[in-house]
Amino acid sequence: MPGTTEKLSLVCAIAFVVSAALGCGASGYGPEDNPTAVRDVTGVEFGWSCRASGCGIALLPATPAPDPCTGGDTPGYGWAAGRFFSVCSACAPQSGAFVYSTQPGQCRVLACDKSADCPIMFEDSPVDVYACVDGLCQNSDQRRWPRDPLQRMDAEELCFAVHARADTNTLSAPATLQVEADLDASCTGPAFDDTCSLPSGCLAP
- Total domains, the chain: 1
For residue 131, report the phi and psi dihedrals to the nearest 5 degrees: -120, 155
Polymer length of the chain: 205
Question: Is 69 domain-assigned?
Answer: yes
Cβ within 8 Å of residue 66, ≥6 positions away: 17, 75, 76, 77, 89, 90
Question: Is 159 domain-assigned?
Answer: no
Residue 195 is given by DSSP the state B
Instruction: From 74, 32, 66, select the one nearest 46 (Cα to Cα).
Output: 66
Question: Is 170 domain-assigned?
Answer: no
Cβ within 8 Å of residue 42, ≥6 positions away: 108, 161, 163, 164, 165
Question: Is 183 domain-assigned?
Answer: no
The tens place of each residue's pLDDT in the chain, 205 residues long, gives: 333 323 332 232 334 433 333 333 446 889 999 999 999 999 999 999 999 989 999 999 999 999 999 888 899 999 999 999 999 999 988 766 667 789 999 999 999 999 999 999 998 788 999 999 999 999 999 999 999 999 999 999 999 999 999 999 999 999 999 999 999 999 999 999 999 999 999 999 8
Note the pLDDT of residue 101: 87
Cβ within 8 Å of residue 93, ≥6 positions away: 73, 74, 99, 100, 101
Note the pLDDT of residue 72: 83
Alpha helices in the chain (DSSP H): 4-10, 152-160, 174-186
Question: Is 17 domain-assigned?
Answer: yes
Residue-number span of the structural domain to which 116 is assigned = 4-143
Note the pLDDT of residue 96: 60
Question: Is 199 domain-assigned?
Answer: no
Question: Is 151 domain-assigned?
Answer: no
Cβ within 8 Å of residue 43, ≥6 positions away: 111
Note the pLDDT of residue 27: 60
The answer to whether 29 and 120 are in contact (CB under 8 A) is yes
The answer to whether 137 and 129 are in contact (CB under 8 A) is no
Question: Is 87 domain-assigned?
Answer: yes
The answer to whether 102 and 78 are in contact (CB under 8 A) is yes
